[in-house]
C-alpha cells in the first residue's frame, strides 16, 4: 500500500512498493525540488519530471543523493529498507564508486543533523527486518551513538583535537616540505591511486564511503605521514555528515590512539578487492606504528539537566545538531521559534560552501516544519553577532526561558554554553532538551564498542517500552518483541 510521508507546500513524496514486484519507490514530483536543492543536473535529468515513478535504484544511484529535507531523508530510508538486512551485511564494505552507492544507505547527513533520528531509522528497519537479519546495519547505526556517548563522557578529547589542529597548522607554517605534502594531499595531487580520487570525491560531493574514509585516513597518517588532526579537519570541512564525535574518534581509531596500540593499515590488495578493481595503489606504507598522544581520560558522567518550566513564556531555538523539533520531548507551550542559521562551525577553519548550503537548507526545512508543528512563524538568526541578536529576539518576544535540543560535545555545544551565559545575564534561562535515546545509550560508552554492542538488544527492548525513547514520528503503536 502506498504511504504518504509528507505533503509540504512544494514537494509531495509518496513512498510505497511499486507494482508488487518488491521495488520500493518514491512516486510523484521530486525533480524540481532536487534541482533546487543543488542536485547535479545530470541526476535531475535522469530522474525526469513531475509524476515520474522512481524506484529505489533511482534514489540510491544518485550521485548527489542528499537534498537537505526531512522528507528526502525519509524517502532515502524507505528506498534503502529492503537492502538493510543481510544484503547490507554482505555488501556494505564494497566501495563501487559515486555512480553506484546502492549497497550503503547514504543516510549519514540526515542522521548527523537529525532530520531523521537514529531511533527512527532503527525503528523503520525493525518494521521490515528481524533484529537478526538487520543486526549489522543496526550495529553500524549504533556506532554513531557510541562515538557520541564516548566523547560526551570525555569532552577533553575534543578540546585536545582543537589544540592539535592549531599546533599542526603552526607546523605547516614552519615546515615547507610538510606544507607542500599537505596541500598536495587535500588537492588530490599525491599520485597515489585511489587517494587522489577520494580527495576529489570528498570535495565535489561531500560524501565518502566508510571504507574509503578508512583507507584515506590510513594513507594520510602512515604513508604521507601528515598530522592526523589536519586530516580530520579536512574531512569535517567537506563531509555533509561531518560530525565531531564520529570523525575525531574514527581518525583516532585509525591512528591507534583510540583503541590504544591498534591501528588500521590500508593495504593494496584490500583496496583493489573492495573497490572492485577501480584502484590499485602502489607504494603504500607496509606498517602502521601507533601514534602517541595524551592518555585517554577516564569517563565522566552525563550532567543532570534541569527541565523546562512550563509556566513561563518560552522560545525554542533550533540548531544544526538536531533538526527534528516535532519529536522533541519536554517542550513547553511556545511563544516563539528561531533557527540559528550562521556559518556552521563543525570545523575550526570553516566548512565548504557545499556544507554551508546544505546545513542552511536543512535549517530552513526544520524551521518550516517547526512553524507548522507549533503554529508559529520561525525567525532566522544569522550573522556573526548572533548571540546579541538572540538576546534581542528573546527580549522582543518577552521570553523568560529559551529551550533548545541538547547538543553533544562539539562546536554547537560550545555556542550554547556561550549563549547560556549571555541569556543568563539578560535574566533569561536556557534549558537544553535531551533525547531519551541518547540519555539511555550514552552512559554505556565507557569502554570499547564490543562492550557497548552487547547492550544493543537491551536498549532496543527499552526503546520499545519507554514512551518517548524511540522519538519516532507517526509511530504511536508500540510492538512488544520486535527486537527479538
Ligand X SMILES: Cc1cc2nc3c(=O)[nH]c(=O)nc-3n(C[C@H](O)[C@H](O)[C@H](O)COP(=O)(O)OP(=O)(O)OC[C@H]3O[C@@H](n4cnc5c(N)ncnc54)[C@H](O)[C@@H]3O)c2cc1C
Q: How far is the CB of 108 from ligand X (least distance, A)?
A: 3
Q: How far is the CB of 440 from ligand X (least distance, A)?
A: 18
C-alpha 357/C-alpha 343 separation (Å) is: 9
Cell of 293: 598522544
Q: Closer CB to ligand X, residue 39 or residue 317? A: 39
Site string for ligand X, 249-268 (x = CB under 6 A): -xx--x--------------
Flag whether 414 is marked binding: no
Query: Among residues 24, 147, 274, 374, which is the contact residue for ligand X, using CB under 6 A?
Result: 147
Q: Closer CB to ligand X, residue 139 or residue 429? A: 139
Q: How far is the CB of 232 from ligand X (least distance, A)?
A: 7
Site for ligand X in 420-459 (CB under 6 A): none
Flag whether 137 is marked binding: yes
Q: How far is the CB of 190 from ligand X (least distance, A)?
A: 17
Q: Closer CB to ligand X, residue 111 or residue 370? A: 111
Burial class of 429 by CB neighbour count within 10 A (0 to 12, 13 to 18, 19+): middle
Flag whether 180 is marked binding: no
Instruction: Please count the residues of this chain forming the interface with ligand X, following the rule CB under 6 A.
Output: 27
Q: Three-state SS across the chain?
A: CCEEEECCCCCCEEEEEECCCCEEEEECCCHHHHHHCCCCHHHHHHHCCCCCCEEHHHHHHCCCCCCCCHHHHHHHHHHHHHHCCHHHHHHCCCCCCCCCCCCCCCCHHHHHCCCCCHHHHHHHHHHHCCHHHHHHHHHHHHHHHHHHHHHHCCCHHHHHHHHHHHHHHHHHHHCHHHHHHHHHHHHCCCCCCCHHHHHHHHHHHCCCCHHHHHHHHHHHHHHCCCCHHHHHHHHHHHCCCCCHHHHHHHHHHHHCCCCCCCCCCCCHHHHHHHCCCCCCCCCCCCCCCCCCCCCCCCCCCCCCCCCCCCCCCEEEEEECCECCHHHCCCCCCCCEEEEECCCCCCCCCCCCHHHHHHHHHHHHHHHHHHHHHHCCCCEEECCCCHHHHHHHHHHHCCCCEEEEECCCCCHHHHHHHHHHHHHHHCCCEEEEECCHHHHHHHHHCCCCHHHHHCCHHHHHHHHHHCCCCCCCCCCCCCCCCCCC
Query: Among residues 63, 117, 223, 247, which is the contact residue for ligand X, using CB under 6 A?
Result: 247
Site string for ligand X, 46-85 (x = CB under 6 A): ----------------------------------------
Q: Closer CB to ligand X, residue 105 or residue 360? A: 105
Site string for ligand X, 279-318 (x = CB under 6 A): ----------------------------------------
C-alpha 399/C-alpha 378 separation (Å) is: 15
Site for ligand X in 76-135 (CB under 6 A): 92, 104-108, 111-112
**With CB under 6 A as the contact rule, which of the stretches 5-13, 235-243, 417-425, 436-444 interacts with ligand X?**
235-243
Q: How far is the CB of 215 from ligand X (least distance, A)?
A: 9
Q: How far is the CB of 290 from ligand X (least distance, A)?
A: 16
C-alpha 148/C-alpha 161 separation (Å) is: 15
Q: How far is the CB of 31 from ligand X (least distance, A)?
A: 23
Structural contact between residues 435 and 117, judged by C-beta atoms closer than 8 angstroms: yes
Structural contact between residues 287 and 307, judged by C-beta atoms closer than 8 angstroms: no
Site for ligand X in 154-213 (CB under 6 A): 210, 213
Q: How far is the CB of 445 from ligand X (least distance, A)?
A: 12
Query: Among residues 71, 160, 193, 243, which is the contact residue for ligand X, using CB under 6 A?
Result: 243
Q: How far is the CB of 189 from ligand X (least distance, A)?
A: 21
Site string for ligand X, 380-419 (x = CB under 6 A): ----------------------------------------
Flag whether 184 is marked binding: no
C-alpha 240/C-alpha 206 separation (Å) is: 5
Query: Among residues 241, 321, 365, 471, which is the contact residue for ligand X, using CB under 6 A?
Result: 241
Flag whether 241 is marked binding: yes
Q: How far is the CB of 177 from ligand X (least distance, A)?
A: 24
The overall longest dimension of the chain from CA atoms, in Å, is 66
Our finding on whether 217 is near ligand X (CB under 6 A) is yes
Binding positions for ligand X, rule: CB under 6 A: 92, 104-108, 111-112, 140-141, 143-144, 147, 210, 213-214, 217, 235, 239, 241-243, 246-247, 250-251, 254
* Binding-site positions: 88, 137, 241-243
* Binding-site positions for FAD: 88, 137, 241-243
Amino acid at each position: 500500500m502506498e504511504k504518504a510521508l509528507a505533503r509540504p507546500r512544494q514537494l509531495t513524496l509518496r513512498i510505497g512498493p511499486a507494482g508488487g514486484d518488491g521495488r520500493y519507490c518514491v512516486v510523484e514530483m521530486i525533480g524540481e525540488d532536487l534541482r533546487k536543492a543543488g542536485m547535479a543536473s545530470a541526476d535531475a535529468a535522469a530522474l525526469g519530471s513531475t509524476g515520474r515513478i522512481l524506484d529505489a535504484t533511482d534514489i540510491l544511484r544518485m550521485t548527489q543523493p542528499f537534498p537537505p529535507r526531512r522528507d528526502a531523508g525519509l524517502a532515502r530510508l524507505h528506498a534503502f529498507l529492503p537492502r538493510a538486512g543481510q544484503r547490507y551485511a554482505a555488501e556494505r564494505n564494497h566501495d563501487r564508486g559515486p555512480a553506484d552507492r546502492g549497497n550503503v544507505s547514504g543516510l549519514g547527513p540526515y542522521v548527523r543533523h537529525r532530520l531523521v533520528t537514529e531511533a527512527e531509522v532503527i525503528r523503520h528497519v525493525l518494521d521490515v527486518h528481524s533484529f537478526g537479519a538487520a543486526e549489522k546495519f543496526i550495529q553500524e547505526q549504533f556506532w554513531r551513538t557510541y562515538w557520541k556517548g564516548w566523547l560526551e563522557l570525555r569532552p577533553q578529547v575534543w578540546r585536545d583535537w582543537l589544540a592539535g589542529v592549531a599546533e599542526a597548522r603552526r607546523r605547516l607554517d614552519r615546515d615547507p616540505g610538510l606544507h607542500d605534502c599537505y596541500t598536495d594531499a587535500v588537492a588530490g595531487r599525491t599520485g597515489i591511486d585511489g587517494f587522489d580520487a577520494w580527495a576529489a570525491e570528498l570535495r565535489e560531493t561531500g560524501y565518502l564511503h566508510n571504507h574509503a574514509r578508512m583507507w584515506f585516513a590510513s594513507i594520510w597518517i602512515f604513508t604521507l605521514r601528515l598530522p592526523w588532526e589536519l586530516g580530520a579537519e579536512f574531512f569535517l570541512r567537506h563531509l555533509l555528515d561531518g560530525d565531531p564525535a564520529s570523525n575525531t574518534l574514527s581518525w583516532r581509531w585509525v591512528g591507534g590512539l583510540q583503541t590504544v596500540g591498534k591501528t588500521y593499515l590500508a593495504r593494496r590488495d584490500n583496496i583493489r578487492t573492495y573497490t572492485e578493481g577501480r584502484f590499485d595503489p602502489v607504494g603504500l606504507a607496509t606498517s602502521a606504528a601507533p601514534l602517541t598522544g595524551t592518555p585517554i581520560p577516564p569517563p565522566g558522567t552525563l550532567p543532570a539537566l534541569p527541565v523546562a518550566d512550563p509556566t513561563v513564556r518560552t522560545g525554542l531555538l533550533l540548531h544544526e545538531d538536531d533538526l527534528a523539533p516535532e519529536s522533541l520531548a519536554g517542550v513547553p507551550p511556545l511563544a516563539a521559534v528561531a533557527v540559528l542559521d550562521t556559518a556552521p562551525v563543525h570545523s575550526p577553519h570553516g566548512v565548504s560552501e557545499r556544507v554551508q548550503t546544505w546545513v542552511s537548507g536543512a535549517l530552513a526545512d526544520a524551521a518550516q516544519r517547526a512553524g507548522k508543528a507549533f503554529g508559529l512563524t520561525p525567525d532566522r538568526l544569522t550573522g556573526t553577532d548572533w548571540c546579541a541578536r538572540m538576546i534581542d529576539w528573546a527580549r522582543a518576544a518577552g521570553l523568560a526561558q529559551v529551550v533548545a535540543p541538547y547538543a553533544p560535545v562539539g562546536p554547537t555545544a560550545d555556542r550554547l554554553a556561550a549563549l547560556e551565559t549571555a541569556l543568563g545575564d539578560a535574566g533569561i534561562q536556557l534549558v537544553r532538551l535531551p533525547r531519551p535515546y541518547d540519555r539511555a545509550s550514552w552512559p554505556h560508552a565507557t569502554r570499547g564498542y564490543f562492550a557497548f554492542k552487547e547492550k544493543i538488544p537491551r536498549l532496543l527492548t527499552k526503546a520499545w517500552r519507554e514512551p518517548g525513547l524511540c522519538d519516532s514520528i507517526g509511530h504511536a503503536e508500540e510492538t512488544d518483541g520486535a527486537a527479538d
